[in-house]
Structure 1
């Protein structure tokens, strides 16, 4: 015997109850997650960050890195941020990596085995990391020779002795430096490119020179240049100060100021003494009856 049909008012109430239940589930924030989009790699001297959108509401992200030559591994687990430092996951800089960014609900009632995720574009650190600005470690102009030493930028990775590797340790002969130089107050530039970080340039004796440096790395993906270094000059008026730190310069200024004040004080004392002696001598020359 078939069960009796529900009364009409109850049948009308069932869809309303289901809709109310659905709205309550969404309002709790436990069933709605957004998939990560606009995933980008940002890397300078092998310091690498992953960034994405949107900011999570009532859910979290977990980042998984997968290399062609390495196993998958997770980092930034259950983070509410939209940025993750993945530098330590990419130590094989010649490998190519992809990132999965999982959107995970804190609810235990999720009905999926694998959380939804956004997939990044491939990234190969050796071919794609940007080169940071090089720094001038030392320079000296003597007679007809301008010597320049460049400090190779450091990377986050350490060598076997525990020191940080430089970009030269990794890129080796793929790294070159170009020095652009010119006579001070002149517009005509010359340049020299070397695989070394030390330069000896032939210049005119007695002429001051200015210069800056730029690094270039050439790999399978092409060439990429670093930003230009700060400009340095060897002019006589600036040459000495360029090699001094701020504390030394302040000491020199303080000593110079003290010397100037001492000269002024001595001049005032001498002037007053001279004036006093002149007044005394004038008084001696006045007749007693006056």
Structure 2
């Protein structure tokens, strides 16, 4: 910790101040002193009131953002997920934003949480790269999300969850609508078949009766 002091947001009426550009050393610990002063032209010989923020160390206290899932496929017994690192407010000399991987490097890893669709049992996988490949049941669909993790931290180890996505490989009507709808459809089908058989039998009997009457001799002939 040093005593180097930098001034930001001088003579502003705003209640927020972006100090990212003065927190270049992310492993350093910082505090902010906020002074409340009168506008220019007003004589005030008293020391202006001020507040001191809590200590803040960007490297250990910054909350990791949501990873962005770029692509995912489920082929056979493999689920592959490709994602992108969240960006930070810090920039490179060319103005592009640094990602959390640029800041945390080998301290950063990601966890993939995945489970069978319509099931509550989760599994987890870990990687330091930007992709996952895990073994799954080829006959089932899976849902999943990704989370950044800093294992070396005591607090704020887990970042924000990505969007939850689900595969749709091999999805059947039973998967979509459940067993109840399947049973209803089966009952309706059986009823239609039964009705068709009954109508066929009745029609056949009527045709036989009509043919028998036509073969009978006319009375009095």
Q: TM-score, normalised by structure 1?
A: 0.54
Which of 30, 38, 60 aligns to 1:97? It is 30
Residue 172 of structure 1: SS of its match in structure 2?
A: helix
CA distance in 1, matches of 2:83, 2:89: 19
Mark the CA change 1:140 to 1:223 in structure 2 (over 3 Å): closer, same or farther.
same
Offset, 1:129 = 1.0
* Contact in 2 for aligned 1:127/1:219 (Cα 8 Å): no
Which has the larger share of strand? Answer: 1
Equivalence for 2:88: 155
**Do the aligned residues in 2 keep the contact of 1:102 with 1:115 (CA within 8 Å)?**
yes
Distance across 2 between alignment mates of 1:161 and 1:80 = 31
For residues 218 and 70 of structure 1, the distance between their equivalents in structure 2, rounded to whole angstroms, comes to: 30
Cα distance, 1:163 vs. partner?
Answer: 2.7
The aligned runs of 1:266-277 (5 Å cut-off) are none
Match of 1:199 in 2: 132
Q: Distance in 2 between matches of 1:110 and 1:142?
A: 73
Unaligned runs of 5+ in 2: 172-221
> Structure 2 length as normaliser, TM-score?
0.69
- TM-superposed CA distance for 1:237, in Å, is 7.8
Specify every segment of 5 or more residues in structure 1 that has no aligned partner in the other structure, as ranges.
Answer: 1-67, 239-290
Matched, 1:132 2:62: no
Which has the bigger relative contact order, CA under 8 A and spacing at least 6?
2
Query: What secondary structure, in the 3-state scheme, does the structure 1 residue paired with 2:106 have?
Result: helix
Cα displacement (A) at 1:232: 0.8
Indicate the residue corresponding to 2:43 in structure 1: 109
> 2:112 aligned with 1:186, yes or no?
no
Match of 2:110 in 1: 177
Is residue 67–residue 83 contact of structure 2 (8 Å, CA) maintained in 1?
A: yes
Alpha-carbon deviation of 1:192?
0.9
> Structure 2 CA distance, aligned partners of 1:109 and 1:186?
70
Give the CA deviation at 1:188: 2.0
Measured against aligned partners, the alpha-carbon deviations of 1:240-287 in whole angstroms (never above 9, x if no partner) come to: xxxxxxxxxxxxxxxxxxxxxxxxxxxxxxxxxxxxxxxxxxxxxxxx
Tell me, in whole angstroms, the C-alpha distance in 2 between the residues paired with 1:134 and 1:108: 51
Contact 2:63 2:156 in 1 (8 A): no
> Would you identify which runs of 4 or more consecutive aligned residues in structure 1 move more than 6 Å?
none
> Pairwise CA RMSD of aligned residues?
2.1
Size of the aligned set, in residue pairs, is 170
Residue of structure 2 in register with 1:75 after alignment: 8
Corresponding position of 1:85: 18
Give how far 1:108 is off: 4.0
